[in-house]
Amino acid sequence: MSYCYIDDIAIADVAFEARGASMEEMFTSAADALTNVMVDDLAMIRGAENVEIAVEHEEIDLLLFNFLNELI
């Protein structure tokens, strides 16, 4: 799992490329990239609660978009 930020695509927003050996790993990488942008000190985050997220879409890019929107 990994991600990298892409500086020359987005001006006001953040762009990143998420990778993974499976769709689940790629979604986890995307969630990590999003969290790293939103939270100044990742050490302050603790797993106090498990939340199930259910999203649907036929297109993988829009499925990822819906997933990341749920995280926000």
pLDDT at residue 16, as a whole number = 92
- Tokens representing residue 12 in the block: 């006001």
pLDDT at residue 70, as a whole number = 94
Q: What pLDDT, in 10s, does the model give residues 35-69?
A: 998 888 888 888 788 889 899 999 999 999 999 99
Q: Which domain holds residue 11?
A: 2-71
pLDDT at residue 57, as a whole number = 94
Q: What pLDDT, in 10s, does the model give residues 3-40?
A: 888 888 877 688 899 999 999 999 999 999 999 988 88
Number of domains in the chain: 1
